[in-house]
Amino acid sequence: MESEGAFQKGLKEIENDVVAMGGIVEKAIERAVEALKKRDLALSHKVIADDAKINQQRFNIEDKCIRLVAAQRPTVRAFVRHGLAVTVPSTHDPVELGQLVARRARRLSADAAQRQQMRTRGPALIDGRGAARVARAFKRLAEARHA
C-alpha cells in the first residue's frame, strides 16, 4: 500500500494531467469552431487528427487512476476482512460490471448481520461524503467511456 503522501502526490499528478488535457481540449474546440467558420477543411482534418492524441491522453490518465487505486488494494482487502466493505471484481465490460454489482447487492441485502456491521463500523472511518465521491467518479467514468 502506498503511503498517504505518495497517494496525494499521485492524485496531484493526475489533477495536473487533467488540467493540462482540459487546456488542449479547449484549444481544439477553438480550432474546430474556427474551421467551421472559415470552412477550412485542412484545419478540420487537423482537429480530427489531434482528437486521437487527446483520447490517448485520456487513456493515460485513466491508467494512472487505475494504478493509483490498485496501489490502495491492501487497504480495501483490510476493509473487507473487517466487514467494512464489499468488493466487486474489476471488469471493463459495463454490462458485466452491472451484473456483478447486482449479485453483490443481492447477497448483501440477504445478509442482515453484515449490513448491520457495515452500518455501525463504517461511519467512523469516513467523512460522510465518500459515497457521493464514488458515485461521481463512476458517473464520469461511464460518461467518458460513452464519449
Asked whether the predicted pLDDT for residue 125 surpasses 50, the reply is yes
Considering the domain architecture, whether residues 46 and 105 belong to the same structural domain is answered as: no
Considering the domain architecture, whether residues 64 and 112 belong to the same structural domain is answered as: no
Q: How many domains does the chain have?
A: 2
Asked whether the predicted pLDDT for residue 33 surpasses 90, the reply is yes
The reply to whether the predicted model has a pTM over 0.85 is no
Structural domain that includes position 61: 1-71
Residue 76 is assigned to a structural domain of this protein: no
Q: How many whole angstroms separate alpha carbon 101 and alpha carbon 112? A: 18
Highest mean pLDDT out of 16-20, 79-83, 118-122: 16-20
pLDDT attached to residue 1: 44
Considering the domain architecture, whether residues 27 and 87 belong to the same structural domain is answered as: no
- Among 127, 53, 1, 131, smallest CA distance to 10 is for 1
CA distances from 36 to 25, 45, 76, 147 (A): 16, 11, 49, 21
Considering the domain architecture, whether residues 94 and 120 belong to the same structural domain is answered as: yes
pLDDT attached to residue 140: 74
Residue 77 is assigned to a structural domain of this protein: no
